[in-house]
Chains A and B, each alone.
Chain A
């Protein structure tokens, strides 16, 4: 009997314990009870800020990379320097030479493309990045610097942006650099573009099929002919990113 009473007591205690534990989790879940173990606030907030900034780099950066590709390397093509094609301002990268099949090369440089991207993406980041959404204890050095490097196989976005979250003397986290690597072989595509433009500038024509075959079909080059110009669309065959540009032609009709 005594044993039986003891068992009953333990059962009751067990049930109470389970109920208490359950209530605790419900309370934590509904923010009524603060969690006993909370992660480092500074680190978790810093982690969120890091993800946020990298998301911004990806979102804004890829957007401008896409526009750059659609517009032949120029984010803001000047008047009469482009052809409207499929709702895009496709820059001429080779000017027509009157009464001649050849043209005058005006291929933009990689440095210039990087400069444009840095300028535009920088402005885009100003509206995208908002670290204050993620922490009230954030300190930033607004003197940030964006560095974009167009590599052969990818494009690197490096943002030098010192951010620190200071919750207290023992709870702080900081990060100085944020980066995103775009899987866009812009440097390689640029090299193909150079080949095409150079051939047009020197010979007045370019056989994209022979070129693609000679490169073991690594690339796909579409040739469109909105009279009197030629619009090329260059991409790595198994990738989606397209770089398109125009060769200005001469109207004979």
Chain B
């Protein structure tokens, strides 16, 4: 940009130089051309004359073979054209006249052929006959003057950009030259003084050789002996440069040539005590910091030159809080600071951060990077240390850098009741999660799905999201006061592990804010924890001092008993340690926490959906970061957790099925081994049938009860012994096989149960574990049932051996117990919600006043380092409200230096205290006695009749009232405010005192809360007697001196206003006060001296026509009367006549002019102001008053005309007129033919057209009363009146 400016300026200078050079060249060129042209032309003309007289045989040759024109020469020399044997003057082609060149110059006496051969315009006569040849003064840039024609003047400036035609009316070429001489500089020598000035300002510019007076162009006065001035006496500034001045104070040559483009300008250097070329750069700039968690941070962390020197014209950004990344604090504003002529000036970007400040290298410009919708300028590196440029860019209605892109949240009126609902609540986010428990392995609920919902990362993200939508959530204000009540997390139900059951010793951590809250006030939501306050206090202190980044508290919570929990504080941990705990699962239960520390980075752990930040696209952003994208995407990712849900069921069911199938298969195999394919029962029946024939006691015992019965029955059938033995053998085999089957099945069942338990133990997910457990309970139940059935069958048929009994029983117990223990798991859905509410300013109003205090003095106002607030900075309502809930903004003080932000805390019940009272002006050094908020007593007496000035200073901004002598009971009853009735810390007053009086001034002040001091502050001062020799002064009169008095008014009351108590008199003659005849009505001299005197004296003055002269004089209490009377005049006036008013009657147009005429009146010439119907005439304030009315509707109009003059003479009348609507077309009232001219007449005004054929009005030939006939034919005539009525006539001629 700078180089650009340089170029511009160079161009300007070069243009100026070129302009001069061009003009000079052009003048030279023009002059040369003209001279050559005239020399050639005139020489030939003169030669011709000589030829005519010398040689009668020659001819006037239009063109000669040598290329000349109009030459009187031998005919042989002619070459084409005319050649006539007469003088050229007598030919038509060589007749002389005025030749106008293409450049606009006129030349007289130039032959026609000569002129036209050059392509110029030839005219008869002389240049005096033609307006285009009239010469006036062509002034170019006040430096060149040419006495020439207007066209030629235009030609001269044709190529000069930015120069407009300046063609001035002058009488002569000398007068024209003098115009340019006006600005010529030189020494003007007068009889007694010399001055370096312009020719135009030199009163007597003609040089008188005898006296030496006159104007000496281009000379310095010190160089002229007549002036006796010493050269190079002092230096001073003239615009940019340092100039020498002589001892007479006249300007001389340049002492130092300062160069704006090199950032130097003439200025006074205190060190050198002289004027020199000074730098206009800024040596120092604002370097204040703001606090983040106690850490001082530069106002623009992206610019390393903050606080350093800056070049003239350089601008940069300043912030009041972290900028971008949704870290802008409520109340903060972006500022653009710039260096201009050595002064740093602040330009606030629009409040509420509707505009953000962005910065770039000085000459980079700002371009949009369409890929990312970010400012390309924002991508410069931080290494850049050249000059910078900046701009305030609107976020609200700027399509380039909008709220969707920037991470600067637009602020708002967070203190309004609806702000949270209207703005912040959009950032409320619900996060679904599922807790699960199974009855055996985990007696308490554990988070299964949506674990992220209770993670600190998620909380931090939502906190950021909350802050991104406006002044919402958790943040510090611009004074660094932290407020966390605008954001919190909540659960739809309090199901967490502590609700029921034993959670043994689980470690719990809480975030920094919560930890600090607990430490300071027990936490907003109650403190269930026991804290080691001392330990936390030291940690918090470390954080606040910047030694440590953040504090997290770690607790260990014991078993819940009786509906309450017990958590013991373990330790404070730092951020990294906290993440270790979290990732290791050692402290896997997260208690509600507010947002983490402000400068906490987001750490994206495994299993958490990653956020995409636009800032990742431009990390080196200058002031503004990329935007946050994808909170909704994050929620979608969270839902993916449900995909895993049914996997455990499938695995569990398969395991159970396999185990059951294996057991069944094993049993059937055993049965096959027994050699029978039928059941044990059927085999027993066959065996018994055979055994019954030869039953013995052993067989019966061996076969059992049923076998015995069968054997008995079989014996009855006389079975053979062999058959019985066979059956018995088979039965024994079958019993052995049954026992084996039960043993094998039991062992398998036990093993499978063990495997099942191991599987359950190895599942991490509480939900999967719960689901696996539930499936396992079913499979265990089935296994137990199958074991029981198999044992029963074995016993009922073949019997069961001891091993079968033992193993089967164990398997039955194991499966049954497993089924019972692994059943009964459940899940519970919980919604973790973030609640985004309006950011809340800190309570109270302790910090309000910081808004109006400079940074150097601990406040917020950007200053020059010495407490002087920089121009452009102002405390705003937004800033004020952010400083405390008890802060009130005083709108009426905006733009002033008065305090704008005051505390109106509801608990402020104290009245304003007058901390100081002081005297001002002439009495400021008097000895006084002061008691705070009580009184100020002036120990010395003061002189009367002087302004006694005093002031008070309060501890808070207040309005103050003052009373003298008597005192009303309350502040409200007091009438008189201090002159500065604003809310302010200081109030000043002045009072005129009279002699020998003790003055008690009573002061009460009231703050914004309505608190006022019941006991008035008293300022006491006593006056001396004093010798009053000053007569009263008549300051003003109620009626202007020389005022006009209306005609007919014979008397009027006139009041005088005097500066001290006095009596006044008046007279028609300029008599001494004592001789004046008439007393005026005054309040007189008060019996007790008081400044509250009535300073008005009145008299009824007689007034007659013409000038009335009066004389006033007054006398004060000390007998001082005016020795010079106050002359006063009133002018009696003539009546104002309203001579005429119109229109009246009927008007057949839709327009008219109302006019009125006046005469007489105050000035005697009728000058007055008139109005019609209450509306002032457009032309009035004279004797003629007019008002044009147009587009009137048809109807009656009645207006009252009222005129009045300066004296109040009034006259009036009424006018009434009717606007009639004409709906009839114009009618021919006459038609006649004279020769070939056809005349027509109409019955009203109209415009007409005619044609030979039928036509539409507007397409014919316009005529006015007649037209010439070209043939006998039919003519069509159409006439239209002002109302648009058209009459058509066919004229057959």
Contact = CB atoms under 8 A, between A and B. Distances in A.
A86 B896 contact: yes
Contacts of B1167: 143
B397 A226 contact: no
Interface in B308-341: 312-313, 315, 338, 340-341
Contacts of B1165: 143
Interface in A161-182: none
Given A136-B1070, A227-B877, A208 B892 contact: no
B1163 to A, nearest CB: 5
Contacts of B1041: 130, 132-133
Interface residues of B, number: 55
B871 interface: yes
Contact of B340 (A100, A220, A252): A220
Contacts of B1128: 132
B1036 A227 contact: no
Contacts of B411: 253
B878 interface: yes
Contact of B1042 (A142, A205, A222, A224): A142
B895 A231 contact: yes
B340 A217 contact: yes
Interface stretch (B344-352, B574-582, B734-742, B1256-1264): B344-352
A223 B350 contact: no
B470 to A, nearest CB: 9
A162 B351 CA distance: 56
Contacts of B1129: 132
B397 A101 contact: yes
Given A216-B260, A227-B352, A237 B341 contact: yes
Contact of B894 (A84, A212, A216, A223): A84
B874 A223 contact: no
A249 B347 CA distance: 16
Contacts of B894: 84-86, 226
A253 B413 contact: yes
Interface residues of A, number: 42
B1127 A222 contact: no
B1040 interface: yes
B876 A227 contact: yes
B391 A252 contact: no
A209 interface: yes
Nearest to A230: B350
B351 A132 contact: no
A118 to B, nearest CB: 11
Interface string B354-396: 1000000000000000000000000000000000000100101
B872 interface: yes
B1127 A225 contact: no
A84 B892 CA distance: 7
A212 B1042 contact: no
A228 B1041 CA distance: 48
B214 interface: no
Interface string B1151-1168: 000000000001101010
A101 B1070 CA distance: 69
A127 B1035 CA distance: 11
A224 B895 contact: yes
Given A209-B315, A222-B871, A227-B352, A252 B1127 contact: no
Contacts, number: 107
B1042 A216 contact: no
A212 B1127 contact: no
Nearest to B352: A253
Contact of A252 (B312, B354, B896, B1042): B354
B9 interface: yes
A237 B895 CA distance: 21
A132 B1127 contact: yes
B412 interface: yes
Contact of B351 (A88, A130, A213, A225): A225
Interface in A59-118: 84-88, 99-101
A88 B894 CA distance: 10
B1086 to A, nearest CB: 28
B265 to A, nearest CB: 8
A85 B411 CA distance: 23
A10 B846 CA distance: 93
A6 interface: no
A207 interface: yes
A222 B345 contact: yes
B340 A209 contact: yes
Contact of A133 (B8, B1127, B1163): B1127
B313 A227 contact: no
Contacts of B338: 209
B412 A253 contact: yes
Contact of B348 (A136, A214, A224): A224
Contact of A132 (B413, B877, B1042): B1042
A237 B872 CA distance: 16
A235 to B, nearest CB: 12
A152 B341 CA distance: 24
B1044 interface: yes
Given A212-B340, A220-B340, A222-B871, A100 B348 contact: no
Interface string A240-253: 00000000010011
A214 B397 contact: no
Interface string A36-74: 000000000000000000000000000000000000000
A214 B6 CA distance: 10
Contacts of B872: 222-224
B396 A226 contact: no
A42 to B, nearest CB: 17
Contacts of A222: 345, 871-872
Contacts of B876: 226-227
B1189 interface: no
Nearest to A101: B397
B131 interface: no
Nearest to B335: A225
Given A214-B8, A252-B354, A140 B1042 contact: yes
Nearest to A85: B895
Contacts of B1: 210
Interface in B203-219: none
Interface string B392-428: 0010111000000000001111000000000000000
A217 B347 CA distance: 17
B5 interface: yes
B340 A226 contact: no
B567 interface: no
Contacts of B861: none
B895 A142 contact: no
Contacts of A213: 5, 313
Contacts of A100: 397
A106 B874 CA distance: 27
Nearest to A123: B1040
Nearest to A130: B1041
A87 B895 CA distance: 8
B396, B1165, B1167 pick with most chain A CB within 10 angstroms: B396
Interface of B: 1, 5, 8-9, 260, 280, 312-313, 315, 338, 340-341, 345, 347-352, 354, 391, 394, 396-398, 410-413, 871-872, 874, 876-878, 891-892, 894-896, 1036, 1040-1042, 1044, 1070, 1126-1129, 1131, 1162-1163, 1165, 1167
14 contacts: A84-B891, A99-B397, A126-B1040, A127-B1036, A205-B394, A209-B315, A209-B340, A209-B347, A213-B5, A220-B340, A223-B872, A253-B352, A253-B412, A253-B413
Given A85-B894, A142-B1042, A217-B260, 16 more contacts: A86-B894, A87-B895, A101-B394, A126-B1040, A132-B1042, A132-B1127, A214-B5, A214-B8, A217-B312, A222-B871, A224-B895, A225-B348, A226-B894, A227-B876, A231-B895, A249-B350
Interface of A: 84-88, 99-101, 126-127, 130-133, 136, 140, 142-143, 204-205, 207-210, 212-214, 216-217, 220, 222-228, 231, 237, 249, 252-253
Q: Which 4 A-B pairs have the closest CB atoms?
A: A86-B895, A85-B895, A227-B351, A225-B348
